[in-house]
Amino acid sequence: MWAGVAVSADAIPGEEYCDRTIDSIVFSGNKVTRRQVLLREIDQQINTPCSIDQIVDSTQGIMDLGLFKSVYAELALKDDGLQLQFTVKEKLYFLLLPRVSRTSDAEIRGGAQLRFDNFQGRMHEMRITSERRKENDGEGPGGYVHRLGYNVPRFFGSDYGFGFDLGSDRRQINLAVDGTELGQAQSQTQTIRLQFSRWLNQSRGVQGRRYFFGVQFATRKLDMLSGRPGPYRGGDDLSLTVGLEDKQVHQDAFRRRGTVVGASLTAANLSAGSDFEYTRADAYAKAYIPLANGIRNLNVQARLGISDGAAFGENSYGIGGGEKLRGLQPGSRSGDLMALVNVEYLHALFDHPQFRMAVFTDIGDVYKNRSVNLSKMQVRSGVGIRLKLLNFSNTDVRVDVAWDSDRERLQTYVSSNLTF
C-alpha cells in the first residue's frame, strides 16, 4: 500500500470484468519507454484468461524496473473485448551531473557525468564520466579519470545481454606496503571490459537467474618520480571471469524488498598472454527485509573474496571508506582475503517517506593468506540520512556519519548511490 502501485489489497478498476480472455493490452504515460520493454515484464498476456493475481504481479514487475514513479492497472470493455491498461508515470532518465566534491578522505574531485538510465527507451544504461582528482585537499598527488560504460540487459527481448566499459586514468600515486611509503609514481592505465550474459528464467524480464562471462584487458605504464617501486610494476593484464546471479528484488516507491545472490571466478594466466597470473573467487548475498508498522527496512549484505594475487603488484582487496567499511580509512587495510558484512536499519518519516533515517554497522577485515583470523574484525557503526529523489531514476542522496576509532574522529560520507 505504501508503494503507490496496485497490490493485492487494492481494488483494480474494472476487475468485475475479469471473467474472460484479455483481448488487448495498452500502455499510457510511457513517453520514452518502449512498449516491448513493458510487455516482457508482465505475466498477464493477450489471448490468455484474465487473472487478478497475474495483473497484480505484472504491475509490480513494471515497477521493479525502477523507471517509474507509479504504475496502475485498469480493466475495461472495449469493442466487445476486454482491455487491460497500464498507466505509468516515468522518472527522468537523462542526467548531466556536475561532479565537484571533497570526499571524507580529503580528495578534491571536479568533473561531470552524463547518465542515461533508459537509453532509446530500451532500458539500456550508459555512463560517461570525466573528472580530475587530487588528494590532500588539492595539495597531494592527483590526475584525470575517464570512464565510458554501456549495458544492455537483454538484446531485443532475447535471453542474452551484453555490456562494456572503457577507462583511461592518468594519475600520480603514492606507493606503499603495509602503511610504509615507498615512493611516488606517474601511472597511466587503459582498460576495456566486455561481458556477455544469458538469462535462465522463463520470464522475459530482468529479474531471476543469469550466468555471465567476461573478459578484461588492462595495460599500465608506471614511471617512478621518487623512491622505489617495491612490488608495483606496469604491464598487460588479461583476465577472464565467469559467474552466476539470482536477483529477486522488488521496487516500492520508498524501499526495496527481496534478495540477490551471486558468485564469480576470475583468472589470469601467463600462457594466455597476461603478464600476471592469479585466481580470484568472490561471493555475495543481499537481503532487503521489509518490517511491519511503517515503512521500515532491515538491509543486510555479506561479501567474501579470496585470491592468490592481483595485477600490477597490487593486493586483491582493500576495505574502508563510504562504499565498504565506513569509519575506516580507505586503503588502510589490504590483502588477499576479504570478509565483510553491512547491516542497515532504515525508518522513513511518516509525513515525508522520501526521507529515511539510518542506523548501520559494518563488520569486516582484509587478511594476508597466511594470517587469517576471522574472530578479530574491524567493527564500525554510525547513523545516516537517505533522501529518495522520486523524479530521478536510480538516484538517492546518502549522508552517513561513522566514528573512526583509529584516528579518533568522525567521518562523513556523502554520495548519490546507496551502500548496496
C-alpha cell at 378: 574491524
Q: 234-420 belongs to which CATH class?
A: mainly beta
Residue spans of the domains in the chain: they are 15-90, 92-212, 234-420
Look at residue 1 in the predicted model and tell me its pLDDT: 30
Look at residue 73 in the predicted model and tell me its pLDDT: 96
**Residue type at 237 in one-letter notation:** D
Distance, in Å, from the CA atom of 395 to the CA atom of 311, rounded to the nearest integer, reads 33
pTM: 0.87
Closest CA to 320 of 335, 332, 302, 336: 332
Look at residue 147 in the predicted model and tell me its pLDDT: 94
Neighbour-count burial for 104-138, b at 16+ CB within 10 Å, e otherwise: beebbeebebebbbbbebbbbbbebbbbebbbeee
Per-residue pLDDT of the chain in tens (420 residues, 90 and over written 9): 333 333 434 689 999 999 999 999 999 999 999 998 999 889 999 999 999 999 999 999 999 998 999 999 999 999 889 999 999 999 988 877 766 555 545 566 778 888 898 988 888 999 999 988 776 655 667 889 999 999 999 887 789 999 999 999 998 888 888 778 889 999 999 999 999 999 997 666 788 999 999 999 999 999 999 999 999 999 999 999 999 999 999 998 889 999 999 999 999 999 999 999 999 999 999 999 999 988 999 999 999 999 999 999 998 998 888 888 999 887 778 889 999 999 999 999 988 999 999 999 999 999 887 677 777 889 999 999 999 988 888 778 899 999 988 888 898 888 877 888
**Which DSSP symbol is given to 11?**
P
C-alpha cell at 158: 532475447
Look at residue 139 in the predicted model and tell me its pLDDT: 61
CATH 3.10.20.310 is the classification of domain 15-90: yes
Contacts of 177 (CB under 8 A, 6+ apart): 230, 231
Look at residue 60 in the predicted model and tell me its pLDDT: 93
